[in-house]
Amino acid sequence: MTRKKRRLYILLLCAIGLGSATALTLTAFQDNLVFFRSPSDIAREAPPPGRAFRLGGLVEAGSVERGGATIRFRVTDGASTIPVTFTGVLPDLFREGQGVVAQGVMRPDGSFAAREVLARHDETYMPPEVADALKRSGHWNPAQGAPPPAASWNTLTPERRSGS
């Protein structure tokens, strides 16, 4: 075997390897990307039914209802609110008024069926998606300190907030 031929083989192998890796990545991306949506996004445009996505926002104060192993609560970003149901054990840091990210699908009745509620190791941690959703809806300016309590989110309007 000549050196040239060997190099050709190796290049061919590399091309096959890289090509298959790219192809696999792209096909897997197509089916498995999970988009993040805030309650306002959903109010504006209904997500395709049956497709899983992540819902993020704050757990509205006073909205948590427990019945057996099933929990109902509402997730808000100030502008809109989405009712959520979840069956399972909630993560340790799940609390009213705190940021939450849930993964699941929309039900036909407009509620969100969470398959997973994501936890964080750190109690002061605000999921970046949630922080971003709150900033976009005009309810929180991180420069002004910690986010205000979730109970007040629905009563505030972006205009009044930015004016204050």
Q: Dihedrals φ, ψ of 71, to 5°? A: -120, 135
Q: Which is nearer to other proteins, 20 or 157 (CB)?
A: 20
- The dihedral through the CA atoms of 117, 118, 120, 121 has a sign that is positive
Minimal CA–CA distance to 101: which of 148, 38, 47? 38
Minimal CA–CA distance to 38: which of 61, 60, 55, 52? 55
> Strand 81-87 to strand 112-118: parallel, antiparallel, or no bridges (unpaired)?
parallel
Stretch that binds other proteins, among 6-14, 43-51, 76-84, 140-148 (CB under 8 A): 6-14
User: Contacting other proteins (CB under 8 A), which of 97, 105, 111, 120?
Assistant: 120
6 binds other proteins (CB under 8 A): yes
CB 87, min distance to other proteins, A? 6
User: Contacting other proteins (CB under 8 A), which of 48, 62, 128, 158?
Assistant: 128
Identify the three-state secondary structure at position 55.
Answer: strand
Identify the three-state secondary structure at position 161.
Answer: helix
Q: Which of positions 70-109 make contact with other proteins (CB under 8 A)?
A: 87-90, 92-93, 103
Stretch that binds other proteins, among 24-32, 43-51, 144-152, 153-161 (CB under 8 A): 24-32
The residue behind tokens 């390897």 is 17
What residue ranges bind other proteins (CB under 8 A)? 1, 3, 6, 9-10, 13-14, 17-18, 20-21, 24-25, 27-29, 31-36, 54, 66-69, 87-90, 92-93, 103, 118-123, 125, 127-129, 132
